[in-house]
Copies of this chain bind each other. A is one copy, B any other.
Amino acid sequence: MFSPAAFSLARLESKMMRGLEFDRVVVVLVRARNPNNIGAVARAMHDFGFRHLRVVNEYAVPFESARSAVDASEVLARAASFDDVAAAVADCTMVVGTTAVGERALQHPLHILSEASAVIGEELAREGGRVALLFGSEKTGLSNDELSHCQWLLTIPMEEHEEVRHPSMNLGQAVAVCLYELVRSAGVPVVSEDGGRPAVARAGEVERLTELLTEVLEATDYTKRHPANCEEGQIRRLVVRMGVAAGDVPVWMGILRQVLWKIRGRGEG
């Protein structure tokens, strides 16, 4: 569990680490056709703190459309366009292709994403390491020629459905999942395990609640009607199982006292 303060601290540390390393991750979209998808990729990058988007397209329309959208992000504004994959990855020390695997005969080593992020993390920790993540077109993925620029391939583990021979994921979702995994595996923020769970009531408070509940059970004749539920130990265990938060003790005490007040007030009135 997280306390807000510890959580903020973990975010801050994580942010500093990312500032150092994730600035050397480059997302490369190859032949993306849909401007909305390019925009969604830029938004995911923005969300997770990545800044370098490169687009490889034979024709400029999708990229220009995405850039002119009203909600275009800073990532998109700074994105660069390249004529081919070679140029787009020229300054990178590691080039990773993404694939849905399918039936394609693989000529590359393949890592599933959680493994891949560890390998990428090692490269980023190396001085001067710069990693390109290539995503192919929505319809066809990366071609064999484009894959030939890659040292190895990454795949997101997906459910295999009988009706679909080549599973593939929405481009914006695939990028979001990959970047999330990079952030997750890099950070693994270490915070106390139960800092955020509200403090539990002390045993003395639990005991006072038990006593008050017992009074209510007697005043309402519940003890007469359900004697089997009303041994002292049973009522206490019932209250202990509530795991009452310390802050809730006064509320429950108030409710039980009000019940007694109502029953007794009426009785005397």
Interface: A60 (CB within 8 A): no
**Which chain B positions have C-beta within 8 A of A241?**
198, 244-245, 248
Q: Give this chain's copy count.
A: 2
Q: Is the CB of A229 within 8 A of B251?
A: yes
Complex Cα spacing A73 to B243, Å: 43
Q: Are B43 and A111 in contact (CB under 8 A)?
A: no
* A255 contacts chain B at the CB level, 8 A cutoff: yes
What sequence of 0s and 1s flags, for each residue 224-265 of chain A, a beta carbon within 8 Å of any chain B beta carbon? 011001000000001001111100100110110011011100
How far does the Cβ of A200 sit from chain B's closest Cβ, in whole Å? 11
Q: Is B47 touching A158 in the complex (CB atoms < 8 A)?
A: yes
Question: Closest CB of chain B to A192's CB: distance in Å?
Answer: 12
Interface residues of A (CB under 8 A from B): 1-2, 4, 7, 10-11, 14-15, 18, 40, 43-44, 46-49, 101, 106, 109-115, 156-161, 167, 169-170, 172-173, 176-177, 180-181, 183-184, 187-189, 196-198, 213, 216-217, 219-222, 225-226, 229, 238, 241-245, 248, 251-252, 254-255, 258-259, 261-263, 266-267
